[in-house]
Structure 1
Amino acid sequence: MAAPTLPKGNSASLPAFKPSGFKYTQAPNPEWTFGEPPTTTEIGRQWAEQEKLGWKTFLPAETDPQKMLAFFISAIVPRPIAFISSIAANGDENLAPFSWFSQVSTTPAVISVSFAAWPRRKDTGVNIRETKGFTINMISESWANNANCCATDAPPDVNEWILSGLTKEPSTHVKPARVKEAALSMECEFLQHIEIKHPDGTIAADHILATVKCIHIRKAVMSEKGNVDPEKLLGVGRLGDISYAKIGDGFRTARPRWNEIAAEVKEKLGVESKLNLPRSSYI
């Protein structure tokens, strides 16, 4: 089957967006058992068949920076989007999306955001280092276009709040407002700045750690356990090129507990001492 052709620029020729909702399914291969290779299933065999095309190997340090950017944003997917509200030292407000964003720890609650510093440093990163407070607002399907317009390369004095049509809601612990339309917003305080340097000594990126001081979440998107329900949040993630992703199906598969599976593993694969299994499991 030929690979689909990516749309260039305007996507008017594509089918209309359909909010298909969210549902949970079984794992891709619920009958899988310990030690079995992926090729025991049809989709596993199809995946293995692709190996016949071989691999391409290249060195990032010897590759054009623009090509590396395009490659990485297409490869590390989907990426959560930090839709950040910040204020400059002179009082100018800024609203912009960034997809190099992740959680670092829960206690204390710390997140990380990275901002490219080439060809120039991002206004949002500069604002955070200078004024210390900012908000991260999680994007949902219904207002994804409003957020996307804030990715424009506007001059620092342009107020993206006005462009976006989104609503300011006063924060309680930091000066920048949070986005009222966001079902989940985090008020964050600058913690640490790490400069990522190119081998030639220039600054390639600004990596910022921040403490989450306060969280605002709509009750309508909460699960019975008090967590975020993906079916209700309808979050949006970033892909490569000009592409975004919505959260469609999710599959559920329990994390194995060794005291529950040890006997089965020993029966199928031999004694434990020969398995060379790690003592810890992935999170």
Structure 2
Amino acid sequence: MSKSDLPFFDTSDFRYTQPPHPSWTYGEPVSTTEQGQKWAEEAEQGWKTINPSEEDPKLTYRLCTSGIVPRPVAFVSTISGNGIENLAPFSWFSQVSSNPCVISIACTSIQRDKDTAENIKATKGFTVNIISEPWIAQANSCAIDAPPGVSEWALSGLTKEPSVSVKPARVKESAFALECELLQNVEIKNAAGEVTSNLILGTVTRIHIRNAVLNEEKGVVDTAKLRPIGRLSGNSYVKIKDGFQIPQSTWAQDKEEIEEKLKSSL
């Protein structure tokens, strides 16, 4: 079977595994495991170094979208100044701050995303809806290069759910959704002075979480139940099947071991 012929497997069997190197100690090099040794040896094959300012922007785009992976996807709902509703996915998205709660979305001119940026600048409010496996086809349909004035809601088959603090609806199918207000728009310009991207910072005014995906005991979202998708390069997405945890140490806890390791390295 080719990759495209393999059926999609449900991820309800999400599991935690051991980390790649569970017995690692301070100062131990990568090459002490079989996997690490292979990784270290591959570094000896050399490097290709790119200066983005001297390359075709399309090459830089392809390299970065294939190397900066996986990326979370913001599924953004907006309304234009004349009332047209828009729905579009963006994989250049992240959280910036928790106090205040601020997220970022980059709307680049390489993608068909001008409507979203213009709508947010005009009407200030928007929603960000995390995409889960069961409705990725519906969300992906909204990446179509529809002409201005065409709303993606009808073609997507998704359900509008009224927001509390902003005018654009959130996506009812999304188990984790954010209502946001425009905090700042940063225009990114190329060497010719042309705006090639809008970095939108949004203050989160409401967070909506389905009860079904909450871990009430820990007060967090259960990744296995949320089943979020991530973006790779081209038309590729990724699902989360396995996870592993690595304890976070403190200096007070490991001070003696670290100092001993530092002494032995002199």
Normalising by structure 2, report the TM-score: 0.95
In 1, Cα distance between equivalents of 2:113 and 2:144: 15
- TM-superposed CA distance for 1:51, in Å, is 1.7
Q: What letter matches 1:42 in structure 2?
A: E
RMSD, aligned α-carbons: 1.6
Percent of pairs with identical residues: 55
Contact 2:88/2:113, CA 8 A, preserved across alignment: no
Match of 1:185 among 177, 181, 184: 177
What secondary structure, in the 3-state scheme, does the structure 2 residue paired with 1:270 have?
helix
In 2, Cα distance between equivalents of 1:40 and 1:241: 35
Contact 1:26/1:252, CA 8 A, preserved across alignment: yes
Counterparts of residues 101-112 of structure 1 (less than 5 Å)? 101-112=93-104
Contact 2:11/2:240, CA 8 A, preserved across alignment: no
2:15 matched to 1:15?
no
- TM-superposed CA distance for 1:92, in Å, is 0.4
Q: What letter matches 1:37 in structure 2?
A: P
What does residue 231 of structure 1 align with? 224
- TM-superposed CA distance for 1:31, in Å, is 0.8
- TM-superposed CA distance for 1:58, in Å, is 1.5
In 2, Cα distance between equivalents of 1:188 and 1:77: 25
Q: Deviations over 1:234-255 (max 9, x none)?
A: 0001111110011111110111
What does residue 269 of structure 1 align with? 262
Match of 1:58 among 31, 50, 53: 50
- Higher normalized strand content (fraction of residues): 2
Contact 1:197/1:204, CA 8 A, preserved across alignment: yes
2:33 matched to 1:33?
no
2:70 matched to 1:90?
no
What secondary structure, in the 3-state scheme, does the structure 1 residue paired with 2:204 have?
strand
Distance 1:162 1:225, change over 3 A: same
What does residue 39 of structure 2 align with? 47
Match of 1:147 among 121, 139, 156: 139
- TM-superposed CA distance for 1:267, in Å, is 2.4
Match of 1:71 among 56, 63, 67: 63
Equivalent residues, number: 263
- TM-superposed CA distance for 1:119, in Å, is 8.0
2:184 matched to 1:195?
no
Q: Deviations over 1:69-127 (max 9, x none)?
A: 11111111011100000000010000000011111111111111110135876100100
Counterparts of residues 110-149 of structure 1 (less than 5 Å)? 110-118=102-110, 122-149=114-141
- TM-superposed CA distance for 1:36, in Å, is 0.7
Structure 2: give runs of 5+ residues left out of the alignment. Answer: none
Structure 1: give runs of 5+ residues left out of the alignment. Answer: 1-6, 276-283
- TM-superposed CA distance for 1:214, in Å, is 0.4
Q: What letter matches 2:154 in structure 1?
A: I
Distance 1:203 1:119, change over 3 A: farther
**Which is worse superposed, 64-73 or 134-143?**
64-73
